[in-house]
Amino acid sequence: MNILEEVKKIHETLVELRRDFHSHPELSMQEYRTATRIEEELDKLGIEHYRSTNTGVIGLIRGMAKSEPAKNIGSDESESNVGHQNSTREGKDRIVALRADIDALPILERDDREYCSINQGIMHACGHDVHNTSLLGAAIILANNRDKFAGTVKLIFQPGEEIGAGAQTMIENGEMKGVERIFGLHVAPDLRCGEVGVTSGINNASVDHFRIEIEGKATHVSTPQLGTDALYIAAQTVVALQALVTRTTSPIDPVVIGIGILNSGTSYNIVSGSGIIEGTTRTTSAKTRQEVKDKVTKTAKNIAQIYGGTAKVVWKDYTSALINDDRVSEEVRSIVEDILGKNAAKIRPISLGGDNFAEFLLEVPGAYAYLGTSNERLPNTLIQIHNEGFDIDEKALDIGAALYAEYAIRWLNLEF
């Protein structure tokens, strides 16, 4: 079966689905309509499903082919490079998971295309509508070809990725139990439609959010000695945090400390009594991640103390670093080359953006591939994600669906 050719037959269906999701985006953990639409599509296909979290959907497609004798994976695969044991697949129903995230961003879409967002100030500017639709496309192919594979395909429609939620809750709900492989896709406007980025090892940085709450003492600007200037403390802290990167971390160990919010003061003639700094850190190793967090906290507290104030630092962990399993990356790369040609598989540079698909990879071996979506003839497809004008070449939907379906069938049929 040529899966890509099969997917092309449902191209118009995928375009219609994607445009429906695109025009009805929903914020993280509020994807109620999206989840309902996913369930409607799964019902049409006779795929059993259930909710995992309020807006997360799990679908199960059970193959009907006769199971081949299970293989012992062997010593070369008995240890995953993410630090946990693989199962041997002996005497078990084989399970492969396919994941797509479904939430949108708080961005006002600015375009006159017919499928522009109707939800003011919310937009699928990160391509999650594409991921969602591609996985539903794979579901169509898999549901119509149950006789061609044995075992179970678990479809994971994950909410809340943009705020670092969803994945961990699904894991805590037991969704990785029995799963031996997981595969996911993300749009990549830096790659042309027909290209797919598949990189072994580190792909994305860990992402953490910090909020620094500074307390000083307000007074009139004419008597600064009677107060404690929280705004000045905040300003000194922002400058010092940038120096942490340039002077205390290795240039070959990527670190980002970004400040997005600085609020302080109530009037031009009052020494500020409080201030808020919010920002993020991006790192690529667990060791550096903790070291940077410790340095940020210590820097903020020490500067506040020097000038007579206090600083409280509150952290929220969004996601771990995303590290692709070497063996699974090779499996995915072989599929890309078979479907799209030998030059279609690209090595994509490390991104300091994060994705909490990383949390699934800490549980089972897997890979995250980057689906090329740009086309020089379609100007908006050259715009990067998280931008109000972002769009895709919709031929990428076919490729995404084919990659999802092909990986599941090959893994379940022991073709790797």
Domains of the chain in start order, with CATH, are 3-205+321-412 (3.40.630.10), 206-318 (3.30.70.360)
Split at pLDDT 50, 70, 90, the class of 69 is: low
Q: Distance between CA atoms of 192 and 213, rounded to whole angstroms?
A: 44
* 49 marked ligand binding residue: no
Q: Give, as one character, the DSSP assignment of residue 147.
A: G
* Helix, strand, coil share (%) of the chain residues, nearest 5: 35, 25, 40
pLDDT value at 230 more than 90 = yes
* 180 marked ligand binding residue: no
Instruction: Report pLDDT digits (tens) over 279-322.
Output: 999 999 999 999 999 999 999 999 999 999 999 999 999 999 99
Instruction: Kindly report the number of other CB atoms within 10 A of residue 259's CB atom.
Output: 17
Q: What is the per-residue pLDDT for 80?
A: 43
Split at pLDDT 50, 70, 90, the class of 93 is: confident
- Helix (H) and strand (E) counts for the chain? 10, 16
pLDDT value at 244 more than 90 = yes
Q: How many CA atoms lie within 13 A of 327 on its CB side?
A: 18
* 11 marked ligand binding residue: no
* 209 marked ligand binding residue: no
Q: What is the per-residue pLDDT for 68?
A: 61
Instruction: Report pLDDT digits (tens) over 149-182.
Output: 999 999 999 999 999 999 999 999 999 999 999 9
* 186 marked ligand binding residue: yes
Mean pLDDT of 231-254: 95
Instruction: Report pLDDT digits (tens) over 331-370.
Output: 999 999 999 999 999 999 999 999 999 999 999 999 999 9
pLDDT value at 119 more than 90 = yes
